[in-house]
Chains A and B, each alone.
Chain A
């Protein structure tokens, strides 16, 4: 058995070289100032009114879009797992396929759809309905997040749901449980690992995104991802940018703790 652990060797070196050392460099930048002195100021930068507001807004938008993703994906995953398609790869492909179109092109296509004179409003006009303001609102950002990250919610949910033993559900029904009660007592608890990993896979990228808020929010809505991006790019201030990234990593750490607690067996994988 021991020899198997050696197989981890290449990955171990790879992870140290390309994951941990770069991470240490971020840590170094985050905890020093321009002259290389130790400072906590970069971390405290999260406390300024603007940055804190951006963080709260990011949290709000990503929580809302995660919730929507969950609400959309759960019935979808139930339908898909109930279907007789026995090919996981088919389901996986349907949701991975859109990623073969470039992310930026896809998001720009949403602009064409949502704009004032865009496709949706022209359709509404055709039906003699009043046009609606879609682009450059928080709703457009949420839509963009839901669209881009929905696959990350569907896949783990589909995975756990299709693994649930149908006999358990039948047994519950035989014993007189209503459909709702079966769901509450059997299906949902069994799908929890998938829910947790889906929630994290959607929540974290939604929290750090900046492209979606730029393109669909008209840059009028500042998210924490935009702040960090701005620090790295426009201000060329890597120290504050790294400091803010470290603060964001706290959320990532929390999510990792949650995963290990609820998903002990790693059932809620993507595939």
Chain B
């Protein structure tokens, strides 16, 4: 009876631990790209996974960094533990206190402070800085797992060995080390795992072109996680599990009481060898795969591109490299706000970046941008002049930016749940839709909705208007199901909510996945946003950057990108090439002037207004 209860309890805990894992594995066979819809069984993600160079090289980096940092951390940490163990208790406390800091500090603080340190020391951010950061947060895990084992060792055995003529090193290796080995090994394993799972610290300490799986996954959040990632995680997980089962199915010792030390040694042996060996094989295998896929071309002409995640057809880069012989290093970010500190700190000399409107203004005002030489960008003629005109709100003389993607913010609604006509922001305050409304979780987007509803400017800095908007947002909060950024897409596809505030670029994709969804631009007007290419003032390869921008403005290339990312292109010539009439003439993607009556583009309002907005938003969120 007791045993049954025990087993049920164990089973329940294991279900809790492994339910999400199983979910992810199932998702890796899902034909639909959205996580909230089952589109049938497929193996295509597994095959496309191995063809994807970017993912394979991220896997390689991840494993190499995890492996190296775990090895070095184990080395430094084990030595340190031995030293600390022989110290007086006061010093020991100090050291252990310092050791606890990286574990207990929040990741973002550790990440940014390390980035500042690397910049101050003029280290170039890249592979080596990630490695250093990972070693830093890995050492404590090693120390914390070695220390308890060291304390259990009997000091007299070491002294006995010394008395019997062993040198200090020999005595250590023969007597102490075997005792602490399990601690060292589990420290190594823990360090490896922690390094594998880290995102935030890696993000701030990495350089261009170096991606780990975590940074790759996070940069994909905006456009939806690619199912290849589920497939890869499943494979990684299964291979570790197989190793584990192999290790533990080693023959059991016959009788515990009779077993001598020697027997114990034998039993531990497979684990000792198999885990590190398996890791080496994994790393080497991944490296081999990666090098099979990578092209060995290295040229002197370089270009470092910094773009939103999933915001460019990878094939476009291949074509560009082929045509011009310029080697492109491509790096992605998740939000404007994550991109800005990296540009501002000038830690990396990016050549071309793709921020949004208000961020371009902010960068321009802080002298972070270089003027574009239009003689090198003749294809600018393909860009619809209306968008050049609109760009003037953040780039008054059209000197710094070339529009790349444009769109609006509107309401996406589910026709089966919303029967009335949707044409106003007011519907987001309708009691009927309690708990089925998704709002944007970003200060400016949320306030834009509230301000526009009242007929105010979305760049308002009038205190009364902002306080009114704040009150409205607080009043709306009970009706809101969730404040989300990227998950609007998946939640709307999965029929989780009736109404959601979303970017127009997502409309096409969500409608394909769930035909009941409809996108409208409310009559009060909305935010018209433009993401444009700019060249930072510290760019090293400005001419190549201009070549790249010019290349992206070519109609065929712009069309490729449009089809890949489904966000509207301001490139008129490319739009004319779209074959599908319903897309080419879609007023959702390419709204007419009358649809945009009363709409505006975001402007950077200055640091003071910015923090006032944030303060008000905090008030809304904490209610």
- Measured CB to CB, the residues of A under 8 A from B are 1, 3-12, 14-15, 17-23, 25-26, 34, 49-51, 53-54, 72, 75-76, 79, 86-90, 92-113, 115-117, 119, 133, 135-136, 146-147, 150, 159, 200, 204-205, 208, 214-215, 218-220, 222, 225-238, 241-242, 245, 248-249, 252, 255-256, 259-260, 265-271
Contacts and interface: CB of A to CB of B under 8 A. Distances in A.
B229 A95 contact: no
B379 interface: no
A180 to B, nearest CB: 15
Contact of A269 (B10, B148, B230, B271): B148
Nearest to A87: B248
A140 to B, nearest CB: 10
A53 B236 CA distance: 41
B622 A19 contact: no
A167 B346 CA distance: 64
B218 A7 contact: no
Contacts of B20: 98, 101, 106-107, 109-110, 113, 147
Interface stretch (B187-195, B307-315, B454-462, B595-603): B187-195
B77 A11 contact: yes
B199 A104 contact: yes
Contact of A5 (B83, B105, B110, B611): B83
Given A50-B618, A219-B484, A233 B148 contact: no
B80 A225 contact: no
A236 B101 contact: no
Select the residue from B83, B213, B218 with max chain A CB neighbours within 10 A.
B83
B293 interface: no
Given A220-B482, A233-B337, 16 more contacts: A9-B83, A11-B143, A22-B113, A22-B114, A49-B622, A51-B622, A86-B256, A113-B20, A116-B496, A117-B36, A117-B494, A226-B621, A245-B106, A245-B109, A271-B145, A271-B149
A115 B494 contact: yes
Contacts of B229: 102, 105
Contacts of B87: 5, 8
B36 A112 contact: yes
A218 B148 contact: no
Contacts of B622: 49-51, 53-54, 222
A104 B106 contact: no
Given A20-B98, A115-B494, A219 B136 contact: no
Interface in B580-623: 607, 610-611, 614-615, 618-619, 621-622
B582 to A, nearest CB: 29
A102 B145 contact: no
Nearest to A248: B106
24 contacts: A4-B82, A6-B83, A7-B80, A50-B621, A88-B186, A100-B233, A100-B236, A102-B214, A106-B21, A109-B20, A112-B27, A133-B435, A136-B481, A218-B481, A219-B621, A222-B618, A227-B618, A228-B108, A228-B109, A234-B443, A245-B105, A255-B104, A256-B97, A269-B183
A218 B484 contact: yes
A22 to B, nearest CB: 3
A21 B145 contact: no
A182 to B, nearest CB: 16
B609 to A, nearest CB: 11
Given A95-B17, A219-B483, A252 B139 contact: no
Interface of A (DSSP majority class): helix
A7 B79 contact: yes
Contact of B117 (A25, A49, A208, A226): A25
A101 B483 contact: no
B23 interface: yes
A127 to B, nearest CB: 17
A220 B114 CA distance: 31
A104 B136 contact: no
Given A220-B482, A249-B105, A256-B97, A232 B83 contact: no
A232 B112 contact: yes
A247 to B, nearest CB: 12
Contacts of B481: 136, 218
B442 A234 contact: yes
A89 B24 contact: no
Nearest to A82: B6
Given A15-B98, A255-B104, A10 B483 contact: no
A150 B17 contact: yes
Contact of A222 (B101, B248, B482, B621): B621
A169 B337 CA distance: 58
Interface stretch (B237-245, B319-327, B347-355, B501-509): B237-245
A243 B442 CA distance: 23
A109 B93 contact: no
B102 interface: yes
Contact of B98 (A19, A49, A218, A229): A19
Select the residue from A54, A98, A233 with max chain B CB neighbours within 10 A.
A233
Contact of B109 (A26, A76, A214): A26
Contact of B199 (A12, A103, A227): A103
A118 to B, nearest CB: 8
Contacts of B381: none
Interface string B160-194: 00000000100000000000001101110110011
Interface in B405-426: none
A39 B266 CA distance: 62
B480 interface: yes
Contacts of B9: 75-76, 79
Given A3-B168, A100-B236, A225-B106, A147 B17 contact: yes
Contacts of B44: none
B197 A22 contact: no
Among all A-B residue pairs, the 4 with the closest Cβ atoms: A218-B482, A8-B83, A11-B80, A22-B113
B19 A219 contact: no
A245 B143 CA distance: 25
B178 to A, nearest CB: 15
Contact of A271 (B77, B85, B93, B183): B183
A136 to B, nearest CB: 5
A8 B230 contact: no
A89 B108 contact: no
Nearest to B487: A111
B23 A113 contact: yes
A230 B614 contact: yes
B337 A8 contact: no
A269 B481 CA distance: 41
Given A11-B79, A147-B16, A101 B168 contact: no
B373 interface: no
Contacts of A228: 106, 108-109
Contact of A98 (B18, B102, B149): B18
A17 B117 CA distance: 9
B340 interface: yes
A17 B120 CA distance: 12
B214 A232 contact: no
A75 B9 CA distance: 9
B105 A252 contact: yes
A36 to B, nearest CB: 15
Interface in B1-60: 6, 9-10, 13-14, 16-21, 23-24, 27, 35-36
A44 B6 CA distance: 50
A105 B104 contact: no
Contact of B116 (A22, A135, A234): A22
Given A76-B9, A100-B196, A237-B611, A136 B482 contact: yes
A23 B113 contact: yes
Given A8-B84, A113-B19, A222-B618, A269 B105 contact: no
A77 to B, nearest CB: 11
B217 A267 contact: no
A3 B85 CA distance: 12
Contacts of B197: 99-100, 102-103
